[in-house]
Amino acid sequence: GTSNGNIINNRKGSMTIEQCKFYENVASRGAVGSQSGTTLLINNSEFTDNDMTSLTTTYGMVYSNSADSVIENTLFRNNKVKSGGAVYATRSSSGTTGTLEINNCVIDSNSATLTGGAIFAGRTPTTIKDSLFTNNKAVSTDSVKGQGGAIYQTIDDVKSSMTIDNCIFINNTAD
């Protein structure tokens, strides 16, 4: 693991991660990161028992920054970060592009100590289909209230949107 980056980082071009397992990793910007102008496909993989909370600032098991990211048939379970327990997707500015698609995933028992127990979507057009969200939580700290037990979205320009279709949400909490 690393305290200032990703376990796997896609800085240029496209990357496909298929049938991979990520267990007990530590990295400030997720186990997998995809940067501006790249494409990322994660399929049939698992992210389990990764705990990034010992680091100062941590973002999702998948960190997508102004990238086009698709995550399918993947399990996220018992991961802990500061924002976006499973996935943290953002655009670095309103002038950049990037999208997030999540299809047929199980996102269970992840937590964030700030926002988005399962997913943080900041300024990123997001589509989530046929997925199950259970027991995810956004937990309050001494100074900040936990927000978005399952999903936390920020919208600050006309390019931002979110579509959620045929998903199930059970026992997700924000406190």
Quick check: 50 pLDDT over 50? Answer: yes
Containing 121, the helix (H) or strand (E) segment is strand 119-122
% pLDDT > 90, the chain: 57
Q: What is the pLDDT of residue 156?
A: 67
How many Cβ atoms are within 10 Å of 19's Cβ, its own excluded? 9
- Find the angle CA(73)-CA(71)-CA(47) to the nearest 5 degrees: 70
- Over residues 137-173, the pLDDT tens digits come to 999 877 777 889 999 998 766 567 899 999 999 999 9
For the ranges 2-6, 67-71, 72-76, 132-136, the lowest mean pLDDT is seen at: 2-6
98 pLDDT higher than 80: yes
Which range is most confident: 1-10, 49-58, 73-82?
A: 73-82
- The predicted model gives 18-47 an average pLDDT of 90
* Burial call 42-58: b when 16+ CB within 10 Å, e when fewer: bbebbbbebbbeebeeb
Which pLDDT band holds residue 132 (cuts at 50, 70, 90)?
Answer: very high
pTM of the complete model = 0.91
How far apart (Å, rounded) are the C-alpha atoms in residues 37 and 141? 34
Strands 173-174 and 99-103: unpaired
